Amino acid sequence: REEETPEDVFYFVDFQRHNAEIAAFHLDRILDFRRVPPVAGRLVNVTGDVLQATHNEDLRAVFFTSPANNTCFFAKCLYVCKTEYAVCGSPDLLEGSLSAYLPGLSIAPR
């Protein structure tokens, strides 16, 4: 990508982690290990696909609009879950990855 993570950013809020997941999937396929679940990059409309689709008030409560007029949200957890570590769309679109895991045939016959 064109951007590097600043040195003072906590690893788990790194905005480039989804690219690593996609790269790991493709490298796994090239090397024929077949150990990584399928991953694809996606653009998610944070407002339309998440905020307007939910009726959960706890989820709605973590959304806010940034000073730059971007739609942002943060997680509720024990560690770095505050507005300082929010994830923001640009203005509503957020780039991420989608991964699918299918259990083995002995666990879930098809």
Count the neighbouring beta carbons within 10 Å of the beta carbon of residue 15.
Answer: 15
Numbered residues of the known binding site for ATP: 99-102
Domain segments of the chain as ranges? 10-41, 44-96
- Which residue intervals of the chain are DSSP H helices? 17-30, 57-60
Per-residue pLDDT of the chain (110 residues; tens, 9 = 90+): 566 655 655 555 555 678 889 999 999 999 999 999 999 999 999 999 999 999 999 999 999 999 999 999 988 887 767 777 788 899 999 988 999 887 888 888 87
The pLDDT of residue 1:
54
Numbered residues of the known binding site: 99-102
The pLDDT of residue 84:
78
